[in-house]
Amino acid sequence: MNYELLKNLCSIHAPAGNEEKMYSFLLNYIEEFKNSWEVMPEVIYGDDFQHSIILVFGKPRTAVFAHIDSIGFTARYNNELVKIGGPKTADGYHLVGYDSHGPIEGYLKLNSDYDYQLTSNRIADTGTTFTFKPEWKEGEDFVQCCYMDNRLGVFNALKIAESLKDGVLVFSCWEEHGGGSVPYIVKYLWERFKIKQTLISDITWITDGVTAGNGVVVSLRDSGLPRKVYTDKIRTILKNHHHPFQLEVESSGGSDGNEIQKQPYPIDWCFIGAAELNVHSPTETVNKKDIESMITAYQILMQEL
């Protein structure tokens, strides 16, 4: 599999609340390739959807949600930094941003557990957003870069788009800082299509119960609690197709699924994704077998659900 698209996605500056660059990239990509997909989708975007994008294929029964934002930092005053979401922090992390004077780079400095600063040759404009500087590495068995979470989830959605006949792909915003776009998107999908099934195309963690190279992860719960009847249905479909997968049970963490669960509509959700090492750090690492397993699992589920 060629990972050049994933590499490009990981290089785009799009922390939560500042998704414009990723939004523009995706619209251009969709416009370039949609005619070559098996079914050409309806592309829904604009002011009513902020920086989110919805692709509608055929007669949809199920929607896939992939958030396009990342964690990062916001410049306060005198190069003080405030977290966007939950990035890992360590002295020396290379950060990049853009303000009224152009690109600005620097290094993260920890003054205390809750006091972060940018070491740079100039003061950043107040409100400038910073992300880890992308450093792509690819080996025989793995890919590594910042923002696999969730550029890999977006990559997965774009690969699904190539052959999807019936379904919805949602590229959502703000997930890393607590949601924001999901409620009005869910309302739209319910009112227009009566969508009752969703899958969350996102990245989870390697833990004592989830290992690298052993297949996509089906999450039975995290801080949110999907219905067992729905997760059982997903497991049965994958088993019937003899597609290997791992199971996850966690008490923390969350996704667009948590926001879906809070909405006043009878919509099921399940988080399904590859697991990574070094979560929310500059060196997020995913096994290639798990990426391929994730894409195949979604292709199966979007056909069968």
Domain boundaries, the chain: 4-70+137-304, 72-132
Tell me yes or no: is domain 72-132 CATH 2.40.30.40. yes
Distance separating alpha carbons of residues 155 and 64, to the nearest angstrom:
12
pTM of the prediction? 0.97
Are 62 and 301 contacting, i.e. CB atoms less than 8 angstroms apart?
A: yes
Question: For the chain, how many residues are written?
Answer: 305
Distance separating alpha carbons of residues 94 and 92, to the nearest angstrom:
6
N- to C-terminal Cα separation, the chain: 26
| Domain 4-70+137-304 and domain 72-132 have a common topology | no
**Encoding tokens for residue 170?**
């949602």
pLDDT at 178: 83
Distance separating alpha carbons of residues 121 and 143, to the nearest angstrom:
32
Between strands 284-287 and 62-67, the pairing is unpaired
Q: Which amino acid is at 201?
A: S
pLDDT at 278: 97
Cα–Cα separations (whole angstroms), residue 204 to 123, 150, 217, 254: 35, 10, 8, 10
Name every residue whose Cβ is closer than 8 Å to that of residue 134 and which is 6 or more positions away in sequence. Answer: 10, 11, 145, 146, 147
Digit-by-digit pLDDT tens for the chain (305 residues) are 999 999 999 999 999 999 999 999 999 999 999 999 999 999 999 999 999 999 999 999 999 999 999 999 999 999 999 999 999 999 999 999 999 999 999 999 998 777 999 999 999 999 999 999 999 999 999 999 999 999 999 999 999 999 999 999 999 999 999 878 999 999 999 999 999 999 999 999 999 999 999 999 999 999 999 999 999 999 999 999 999 999 999 998 889 999 999 999 999 999 999 999 999 999 999 999 999 999 999 999 999 99
pLDDT at 180: 81
Q: Which amino acid is at 131?
A: T
Is the CA virtual torsion 101, 102, 106, 110 positive or negative? positive
**Encoding tokens for residue 66?**
């992939």
- Number of other residues whose CB lies within 10 A of the CB of residue 101: 11
Between strands 284-287 and 275-277, the pairing is antiparallel
Tell me yes or no: is domain 4-70+137-304 CATH 3.40.630.10. yes
pLDDT at 253: 86
- Number of other residues whose CB lies within 10 A of the CB of residue 82: 11
Torsion-angle region of residue 163: left (phi > 0), alpha (psi -120 to 50) or beta?
A: alpha
Are 143 and 291 contacting, i.e. CB atoms less than 8 angstroms apart?
A: yes
